[in-house]
Chain A
Amino acid sequence: MMDTFVMRHLPALLIAVPLFAAFLMPLVGSLGPKVRSAWVFLGALATAAVGLALAGKVLATGTVLYVFGAAIPQQTLPPDAAFPIRIMFQVDALSALMVVIASLSSLGIAIYSLAAESKQSGLETFYAMLFLLIAGVLGMVATGDLFNFFVFLEISSLAGAALVAYRVDDGVAVEAGLKYALLSTVGALAVLTAIGILFAQYNALNLASLANRLQFTALDQVALVLLVVPLAMKCGAVPMHFWTPDTYATAPSSVTAFLVVSSQASLYGLFRILFTLYGHLVQFSWATFGWFLIVLGVLSMFVGVTMAIPQKDVKRLMAYHAVSQTGYMLLGVGVGLAVLGDADALAQYGKTAMAGGLFHVINHAMYKGLLFLTAGAVFYRAGTRNLNKLGGLGHDMPWTMVFFMIGALAIAGVPPFNGFASKLLIYESVFRFSPFLSIVAMLVSILTLASFVKVFHAMFLGPRRAEFAAVREVPAPMLAGMALLAVFVVVAGLAPQPFVDHLIVPAVDAVIDRAGYVAAILGGR
C-alpha cells in the first residue's frame, strides 16, 4: 500500500523531499549539530533513493508522467479540454539520466560537506541552500513545462549564487556570487521573454504541446536565440564562460562540485530546446545548429584547456578544465544534431557520437566532482589553493592523493577510467564525421593530461614541507564522499557497456524521439 503510494508519486517526491529537507533545516538545526548532520544525511539519502527509484522506473517502463494537482496524476489531458493546462513532470530516459547524475553526486557531496563544513558558522542556511540547489536542478531536468523550467532555473541560480557567496572571504566570494547572480538573472529574463513570445503565439507552456504547434515564425526564431544563448552561457560554453573560473574557484568545494551538475542541467535544457522543441521543423536546418554546437564545443575544449595550463590556483585551473570538458559534450551531441536529418549517417555514427556526449555528461559530473572535492580536501588541511605554495602532501594525505589520481586520469581520458570510455565513443564517431575535429579532441585530452600531471606534481610529490607539518588525512566522511564518486569513476571505466546499454542509449533514443515525447502528452490528438 505504502509502496504503491510512493511509486505513484515519485516525480512529486523528487522535488518535495529536498524542499522538505531544506525548509525544515533551520528548525532541525536548532536541536544541535549532531541532529542537523543526521538530517542532512537522511535528506540526501532520501533524495538519492527517490531519484534512483524514479530513474529505474523510467528505464523499466518508459516515460513517467505526473500532472500536479490532478485527480489522476497520469491523466495528461483533462476530460473537458483538448490541451494540457496543468503543470506536469515528464521524465523520459534523458531526464532519468540527469536525475541519476544529480542524485548520486548530491549524496556524495552531502556526505563530504558534513565534515568539510563542520567548522563553519551559519550551517543551517548553508545546507538549506544546498538542498534548494538540488531541488532546483532535479526540477529543471524533470519538468515538462517551459515556465516551470524557468522557475527551477531561477531556484538553482539563486541558491547557487547564495552558496558561492557563503564564505565572504574578504568580499571576493561575494563579488563572484554577485557576478553569477547578475548573469543568471539576465539570462533567466531572456528565457522568460522567450517563454512569453511562445505563449503569446501558441497559448501553451507545455513543452510537448508547444513542440506540436510551433510554426517557426520570425518570432519563434527570436525566441530560439533567447533560449539558447542564456542556456549555453549557464553551461559555461566559450565565449560565455567568463563566470565559471570566478564562481567555481571561490565557492566551497562541495558547492562547486554541485554547480558542475547544475550547469549540466542547463546543458540538458539546451538539448531539450534544440531537439524536442525546435527539432522537427522543416525550416530548421540540422546542419546549421549542429555546427553551432560543434563550434561552441571545439572553442570550449581548446580555449578552456589553454587557459587552464598557466593557472596557479588549483580550483581556477579545474574550473577552466570544466569548461574544456563541457566542449566534449557539445561536440558529441552537436555531431548527432548535424546528421539528424540523414538516417544512414545517424545510424552509422551520429547516435554513437550522441551517446559519447551524454555518457561524458555523467562521467564528467563524477570525476570533476571528485577532483573539486580533492581540491577542497587539500585546502581544508593545507589552507591554500596556490600551486606554488603546495607540495609534498602525498606523504600525509595518501587517500586524497589516490582519489586525485583517479579523477585526474579519468579527466585526461586514460584507460581504464570512465573518461576514457566516453571519449573513445566521441573520438571514433566524430572521426567519421570530420577527422579534424577528432584530432582536436585528442589534442585537448593530451593537454589536459599534461596540465594535471603538473598539478599532481605540485600538490602531492616532493619532500615533506615544514609549513605543512600539521597536515593529516581528512576526516572519514570527506573520504567517504570522495570514495562514492571514485567508485563510480572506476566501475564505469572498467565496465562501461552496461551503463551505455541501459542508461545512455535509452537517453539518446529519447532525445531523438521527438514524436514520442509529444505523443506521451497529447496521445493521438
Chain B
Amino acid sequence: MTTELLLKLPYFTVVVLTLLGLAAMIFKRNLIKILMGLSLMESAVNLFLVATGYRTGGVAPIFTNAPSPHMTLPTVQALTLTSIVIGVATSAMMLSFAMVIYKKYGTVDADKVKKLKG
C-alpha cells in the first residue's frame, strides 16, 4: 500500500507543480514571476516524463555493470535531457526579452507593458 502510494507520489507532485506554475502565470503581473511560473511548469513536465520511465526492479542500461541482458530502455530519460536543454534556451531567451523590456519601458509590470493593441 505504501509502496503504491510512493510510486504515485511523483504524479501528485506533477499536478501540484503544474497548478502552481499556471497560477503564477495567470495571477502574477511581474514578467519575471510569469517566467518563473513557466519554469515551474517545465519542471513539472520533466518530472512527469522521468516518472513514467520508472520500472520496478528495472536494470539501468550500463552494459559493463548489468546483472542480466534485460535492461530498461532509457528513452524517457533521453527525452527529459533534451527537454531540459530546450528549457534552458527558452528561459534564457525570454529572460533577456524581459531585460530589454525593463530597459525600454522602465517596468516589468505586464499591465503597464502594453503598447500593442487591437
Binding site for B on A (CB under 8 A): 85, 147, 151, 154, 158, 161-162, 165, 168, 170-172, 174-179, 181-182, 185-186, 189, 192-193, 195-196, 199-200, 203, 205, 245-246, 250, 311, 316
Q: Please measure, in the bound complex, the distance between the C-alpha atom of A108 and the C-alpha atom of B97, giving whole angstroms.
A: 29
Chain A residues near B75 (CB-CB < 8 A): 199, 205
Q: Mark B43-81, 1 if CB is under 8 A from A, else 0.
A: 001001100100000000000000000000101100100
* Min CB gap B108→A, angstroms: 10
CB-defined A-B contacts under 8 Å, sample of 30: A85-B73, A147-B79, A147-B82, A151-B82, A151-B86, A158-B86, A158-B93, A161-B97, A162-B93, A168-B100, A168-B104, A170-B115, A171-B100, A171-B113, A171-B115, A174-B100, A175-B101, A175-B113, A175-B115, A175-B116, A177-B97, A178-B31, A178-B101, A181-B97, A182-B38, A189-B42, A192-B79, A193-B45, A196-B52, A199-B75
> Is B34 engaged at the interface, CB distance under 8 Å to the other chain?
yes
Chain A residues whose C-beta falls within 8 Å of the C-beta of B35 in the assembled complex: 182
Q: What band does the interface of chain B fall in when counting residues whose beta carbon is under 8 Å from A?
A: 20 to 34
Q: How many A-B residue pairs have CB under 8 A?
A: 88
Greatest chain B CB density within 10 A among A85, A147, A162, A316 is at A147
Majority DSSP secondary structure for residues of B touching A: helix
How far apart are A24's CB and chain B's nearest CB, in angstroms? 20
B23 at interface (Cβ–Cβ under 8 A)?
no
Q: A193's closest neighbor in chain B, by CB?
A: B45
Give me the interface of B with A, judged by CB distance under 8 Å. Answer: 25, 31, 34-35, 38, 41-42, 45, 48-49, 52, 73, 75-76, 79, 82-83, 86, 89-90, 93-94, 97-98, 100-101, 103-105, 113, 115-116, 118
Q: What residues of B have a CB within 8 angstroms of the CB of A205 in the complex? A: 75
Cross-chain contact A174 with B52 (CB below 8 angstroms)? no
CA A57 to CA B27, docked complex, whole Å: 52
Residue on A nearest B98 in the bound complex, by CB = A178
Nearest-Cβ distance from residue B29 to partner chain A, whole angstroms:
14
A189 near B52: Cβ-Cβ < 8 Å = no
- Report B-chain residues with C-beta under 8 Å of the C-beta of A172: 115-116
CB distance from A22 to the nearest CB of B (A): 14
Q: Which residues of A contact B73 (CB under 8 A)?
A: 85, 203
